Amino acid sequence: MSANNAVVPPAPLAKDLSTAPAGLTGFLGLLPGILLLAVVGYGGKFIEQFIARYGKAHHLILPNIEYVLWAILIGLVIANTIGVPEIFRRGVATYEFWLKTGIVLLGARFILGDIAKLGGISLLLVFVEIALALTFMTWLGKRFNLAPKLVSLLSVGASVCGVSAIIATQGAIEADEEDSSYAIAAILALGAISLFIFPIVGHALHLSDHAYGVWTGLAVDNTAETAAAGALYSDAAGKVAVLTKTCRNALIGFVVLGYALYWASKGQAAGVQNKAAFLWSKFPKFVLGFLLISLLATVGFFSKPGLLALGNLSRWAFLLTFAGVGLRTSFRDLSKQGLRPFIVGAIGEIAIAVITLGLVWGADRVFHL
């Protein structure tokens, strides 16, 4: 995720979301889009509940498709048919804020003992995934003769934190916006595909909630898609997926610093004068919020009704997030970015998904994740 708490739209891939019609400024300018997120998100919830009630009333066995997927599908249909009118765009772009808010509030559902239960093996897999992904994507990008800085952006996006990591790295290594756009397009398209593929694979292999959550947290790049893919499997898997992904997010500053130093040594980026300040600027602050809420829950600061309320608020925040994932995905924009970065991203993502699945499956059999 991006280190800053401000919502940063992945321009230039998407249309400019920073402008609004005259007279709509500040919170009022955000309100129409936020309401659209709520309507789309609740629409997904309504469809899920309607299908469940209809099946029960007519004694039918109908597929239980989670609201997560319905919300994303509704958003995709809107974005790729009538489009998102300008008046809604600024508010829709706040979906990253709701994502981070949801993760912070999710801390209320974890006591520190639960975080420890993620296990040393799972945490080790986070470091292994990052190292393997960086190495493989760098090698693959060079084999396809992609621009060197585009290779760096794809490598960071695939290994750490998707779009936000690409944006953070672009500024640090002074990459072209076109390279950033290509990398973002590949990561977004592949993230959307993972929502459909990962749950199918998990069920086919009969993965436990914990093993599936760890795998999703390791292999899916954007945090929003990670949360969605986990939730589509089960609530427990969704929690583990977000926790694992949060561990990856926490390392973004170190990875971006490494690339900044590398390109500065080649005279193609500004030098890093204060490494500690650089790390702090890139560190995702919402991770600290998650840990703080978890600490307060552990020491009993919240009452039982308070914990329940925070958990429900987290679900509502994710509801807005999943709606935003669909509304912000334009297949038309993705198709304009060219094939080579997408091919590299696709091959890399498939390889990383298969390798991490093998690692998680083996670790689950040996160490019982």
Residues 52/64, Cβ–Cβ less than 8 Å: yes
Looking at residue 224, what is its pLDDT?
80
Judge whether 266 lies within some domain: yes
State which residues form the domain around 242: 96-367
pLDDT at 72: 83
DSSP string, 76-100: HHHHHTT---HHHHHHHTTHHHHHH
Distances (CA, A) of 267 to 24, 200, 238, 252, 359: 44, 46, 43, 23, 38
Alpha carbon separation from 2 to 106, 124, 165, 284, 304 (Å, rounded): 18, 23, 6, 6, 32
Contact 124, 192 (CB under 8 A): no
Q: Is 83 left (phi over 0), alpha (psi -120 to 50) or beta?
A: left
Does 238 fall in a domain? yes
Candidates 38, 25, 162, 5; CA nearest to 90 is 25
Can you tell me the distance from the alpha carbon of 37 to that of 89, in angstroms, rounded to the nearest whole number?
Answer: 10
In a domain, 55, yes or no: no
| Tokens describing residue 169 | 């790295």
- At residue 223, the 3 state secondary structure works out as helix
Residue 87 lies in a domain: no
Which residue numbers in the chain have pLDDT < 70? 1-25, 63-65, 111, 113-117, 177-178, 181, 333-338
d(CA 236, CA 232) in angstroms, rounded, equals: 10
Give the Cα-Cα-Cα angle 94, 348, 341 (nearest 5 degrees). Answer: 70
Percent of the chain with pLDDT over 90: 30
Question: Is there a contact between 160 and 183 (Cβ–Cβ < 8 Å)?
Answer: no
In a domain, 85, yes or no: no
Question: For the chain, how many structural domains are there in total?
Answer: 1
Does any domain span residue 194?
yes
Strand, helix or coil for residue 339: coil
The residue type at 146: L
Instruction: Determine the angle formed by the axes of helices 209-219 and 340-367, rounding to 10 degrees.
Output: 150
Q: Is residue 118 part of a domain?
A: yes
Q: What is the DSSP letter of 5?
A: S
Return the percentage of the chain with pLDDT > 70, whole number: 87
What's the token pair of residue 349? Answer: 């993502």
Q: What amino acid is encoded at 288 in this protein?
A: L
pLDDT digits (tens, 9 = 90+) for 272-314: 778 888 888 877 788 888 888 888 988 889 888 888 888 888 8
Distances from the Cα of 217 to the Cαs of 138, 273, 318, in angstroms?
21, 33, 16
Model-level pTM greater than 0.85? no
217: which 2 tokens? 């947290």
Residue 215 is given by DSSP the state H
**How deeply is 328 buried, as exposed, middle or buried, from its count of CB atoms within 10 A (0-12, 13-18, 19+)?**
buried
Tell me if 240 sits within 8 A of 215, measured CB to CB.
Answer: no
Report pLDDT digits (tens) over 170-193: 878 888 766 776 787 778 777 878
Mean of the per-residue pLDDT values of the chain: 83
Instruction: Identify whether the C-beta of residue 162 lies closer than 8 Å to the C-beta of residue 191.
Output: yes
pLDDT at 113: 66
pLDDT computed for residue 22 by the predictor: 40
Residue with tokens 């699945």: 357
For 55, 109, 133, 299, 311, the CA distances from 308, given in Å and listed in that order, are 29, 8, 38, 16, 5
The residue written with tokens 């008046």 in the block is: 87
pLDDT at res. 137:
95
- Cβ distance 257 to 278 under 8 Å? yes
Cis peptide upstream of residue 12 (ω within 30 degrees of 0)? yes
Residue 20: left (phi > 0), alpha (psi -120 to 50), or beta? beta
